[in-house]
């Protein structure tokens, strides 16, 4: 039977006690919801929903960060950071020797797929002595399997001469190609312009 006096007594309960009971009930409810979602996998589905804002995850490797930070920059900016790309070097090889690792030119002064001269090689080694590691010498820029080493030599040469400090601007593919053809000052020599056009067409 409904007891009006008991009902009135309940209404007189201390408000802080009611608040504590409410918070406890909410806490229990949240615990049940979280446990249920974790068990069913729906929590993971909710988190992976592309419609929700996702936290920016840091790249897993330094190489990933470098790639991401450079992907929207123009190619000529990358030249300063990385030196000549493989695509550029391959175009130079095509023009210089048509891929012939045994090629000899300029009366015997230029050898290998990139037609490197001894003075060029010496300049590169002076900048990067590791080119001598393993007993490597100038003659290793030519002959079977020499392409990889020849590219290393060219990259060292460019790291020495195709720099912002020397050129007064960020080095471009054109600068590096013309330096390869005409030496440290080749980037501003009219005589190297035709060579650049050939390489450019081969890229």
Burial of residue 68 (number of CB atoms within 10 Å: 0-12, 13-18, 19+): exposed
State pLDDT tens for residues 66-102: 444 444 444 433 444 469 999 999 999 999 999 999 9
**Tell me: the pLDDT tens digits for 95-118?**
999 999 999 999 999 999 999 999
Average pLDDT over residues 19-33: 59
Q: Say how far apart CA 66 and CA 158 lie, in whole Å.
A: 21
The first and second tokens of residue 140, run together, are 């290793």
pTM confidence score: 0.62
- CB-count exposure of residue 15 (10 Å: 0-12, 13-18, 19+): exposed
Parallel, antiparallel or unpaired: strands 110-111 and 104-105: antiparallel
User: In the chain, what is the straight-line distance between the N-terminal and C-terminal CA atoms, in Å?
Assistant: 96
Checking phi first, is residue 53 left (phi over 0); if not, alpha (psi -120 to 50) or beta? beta
| Average of per-residue pLDDT across 166-175 | 96
How many whole angstroms separate alpha carbon 95 and alpha carbon 9?
100
């Amino acid at each position: 039977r409904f007891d009006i006096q008991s009902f009135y007594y309940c209404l007189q309960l201390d408000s802080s006690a009611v608040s504590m009971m409410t918070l406890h009930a909410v806490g229990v409810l949240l615990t049940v919801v979280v446990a249920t979602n974790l068990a069913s996998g729906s929590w993971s589905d909710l988190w992976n929903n592309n419609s929700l804002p996702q936290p920016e995850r840091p790249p897993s490797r330094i190489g990933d960060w470098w790639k991401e930070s450079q992907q929207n920059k123009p190619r000529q900016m990358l030249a300063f950071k990385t030196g000549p790309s493989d695509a550029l070097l391959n175009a130079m090889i095509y023009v210089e020797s048509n891929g012939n690792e045994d090629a000899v030119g300029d009366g015997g002064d230029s050898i290998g797929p990139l037609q490197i001269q001894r003075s060029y090689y010496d300049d590169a080694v002076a900048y990067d002595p590791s080119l001598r590691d393993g007993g490597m010498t100038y003659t290793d820029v030519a002959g079977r399997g020499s392409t990889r080493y020849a590219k290393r030599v060219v990259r060292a040469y460019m790291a020495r001469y195709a720099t912002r400090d020397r050129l007064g601007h960020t080095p471009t593919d054109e600068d590096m190609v013309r330096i390869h053809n005409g030496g440290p000052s080749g980037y501003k020599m009219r005589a190297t312009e035709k060579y650049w056009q050939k390489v450019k067409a081969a890229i």
